[in-house]
Structure 1
Amino acid sequence: MVSTPIAIIGAGPAGLMAAEVLSAAGAAVSVFERMPSPARKFLMAGRGGLNLTHGEALPRFLSRYGAAAGRLEPALAAFTPDDLRAWAEGLGEPTFVGTSGRVFPRSFKASPLLRAWLRCLAGQGVMLHTRHHWQGWDGAGRLRFATPDGDVMVAPAATLLALGGASWPRLGADGGWAALLRARGVEVHDFRPANMGVKIAWSELFRARFAGVPLKRIAVTCGSAQVRGEAVVTETGLEGGAIYAVSGPVREALAAGGATLHIDLRPDLDTTALAARLAAAPAKLSFANLLRKAAGLSPAAAGVLREAMGGTRPADAGALARLIKAAPLAVTGTGDLSRAISSAGGIAWDAVDADFQLRPVPGVFVAGEMLDWEAPTGGYLLQACLSTGRAAAGGIRARLSL
């Protein structure tokens, strides 16, 4: 049996941040990770240039978390996007704000930041144990881990669970912990994909020609949610930042009976001006050239418009302009958890106190994507993981009088 004052289960951003805070306070901390190496999803996120947080003002930043904003606000106010940037710079990784407001390390990579972070933790005495798969508690209340060398029991003074949600399970977070916590009386909401692609029944012609082609400078609407950005046509539908930003409303609409995306293919031009351009175009133009020259649509955007038309051309310039500004695409489904960037669902907020301690299991704290919140891409996911990791560490410090 291993005896350690504080056990952290999960070596992702939330767990590592808590380990940093607690070890800096003088506590002996052991981090237990199921995978052979730490922070695999963090490294995956950095493949496209690690988006750490966002540079917008905190009130608008908080609004990105929807219904969970009120519960997350204390943690996010205590460790803000500016604090995160200062923290990264303290590890030797200065940041910059991109044109979209997103914040990245100047190296544009996750690995240098992670290496510096792990060196910092090792210097503060944090012990990292990989290939330790948490199995719950034994009859004596000890943590039980399955390892290649057999079961290991751990008896900590406090435990932090930072096991992630249920997206990209091959990277380590598969949501398997939900059954263990439900058995201890913790309410856990079912996981659902978030920030995922949507499925659309493209025609064979469109799919063959445009799968993999980007749709740039569009606006996407689902219900009351609207966002400008870009998307990518896939074999089965659409993916990309603009799609991910409305994926929550799409998911809920599908659950309620049906979902339709409306794509504004010319968001920089209002309907009246667009109709005037179409009406003024030479009558001899083919429909394809009308869309290209007068409407300014790319071949992929024109293809999307044709998919929305369903073979029936609008009767006049006004009707065509309205369709270009709100091309309807029926959504038949969404990507599943195995490919979703993040997940909705998780531990109900009523099961957690203000210090991020599980009410039914005193001495056990939680942080990160285990909790039931979701946010769009753009730095909001990582920020909340780091902020709740620090907040939960603060709860442990209070409990143990560190």
Structure 2
Amino acid sequence: MSTEVKVPTLPESVSDATVAKWHKKAGDTVRRDENLVDLETDKVVLEVPAPADGVLESISAEEGDTVTADQVLGAIKEGEVPEDDQDGDDAEDASSDDEANDADEKKSTDRKKDADDDRDRASSPAPAPSSGGDARPSPSARKLAADNEIDPSSVEGTGRDGRVTKGDMLKHISGGGSRPVERVKMSRLRSRIAERMKEAQNTAAILTSFNEVDLHEVMQIRSKYKDAFQNKHGVKLGFMSFFVKAACEALDKHPVVNAAVEGDEIVYHGYQDVGIAVSTDRGLMVPVLRNAGQLSLAEIERQIAHYADKARAGKIELEDLQGGTFSITNGGVFGSLLSTPLLNAPQSAILGMHTIKERPVAIDGEIVVRPMMYIALSYDHRIIDGKDAVQFLVAVKEALEDPARLLLDL
């Protein structure tokens, strides 16, 4: 009996998906609920589990195909799967061990052959460069050629009888002899990110204002309480929770920064749903902390860690990414000193964090070294005036430079 594997019901507002990766091939045994194939939408990856035990009989939609809800992806021939059937994993493991042993045995041989090459060159007159291909390349040269996808016959050999040596291959690579080009189709997520970023630039009047923050007091608190915090709450105390709390306080004071443009209306939100940008292998995702202004530092850190794990594992859901009123992005984790972040439409503002650098600053007439961070607010100048943007950044700065007031809600 054959059972069809179908595209599941897609999230609301998603009309189709792309077959991203098959984890099984036709003829492989499968177990019920085992992930067969990943489907990529504009924002999330959906896993399609096997509906029954058996053998994957056929595949109807190949990787890269566009599919819609309830479309047939393949078929499973139902049947009992032996308990010890692991699709050859044991054999592959054994093969890997054998290959590792073979590699160890070859190392000394390769080294001896390369040494022989070197002695040959030292004791013989240097031959004229050859076009290569007549003499077999040395083992290390062959490995370099394979790793860099180079045809050894295209490399000039200076070894005995025109043999291509490791040095010849390295010279060829460093000299630009190999100029590989790879053309890869954009993923659905990357295409959607590009579309939204360009839409934001074309629609909003984006302007960016800057300030800097002395994080000495925040770092003192983290240093003093980080172990106790982690022991009690089971999560690390990071900088992001302080920034979320400071941003929410500033949004309370300057609600237009938390607003959005819809047609000819300004929509003011009486709550703060803060999106936190998370970098993944698939691209940038911005899961949303609901009612962030009402969360404690521990709740913020737990939710951020939860969303980051889901995003990087490809388990993020569309609902996790929708409905934010304001966003925060931290380029500092990659070493960015200063940037102008782009809006996450339809939001009207985004706060950019950057790397922390110790710099000399003047405090009470004295020069001291403090951990400083530049912060940036990109905003839609159609509804947010420069005064609001600057005062928002000042409010964030003041909250972070005196975090006791922030934590005591003063």
Shorter-chain TM-score above 0.5:
no
TM range (shorter): under 0.3
Higher-Rg structure is: 2
TM-score by length of 1: 0.24
Greater RCO, CA 8 A, separation 6+: 1
TM-score by length of 2: 0.24
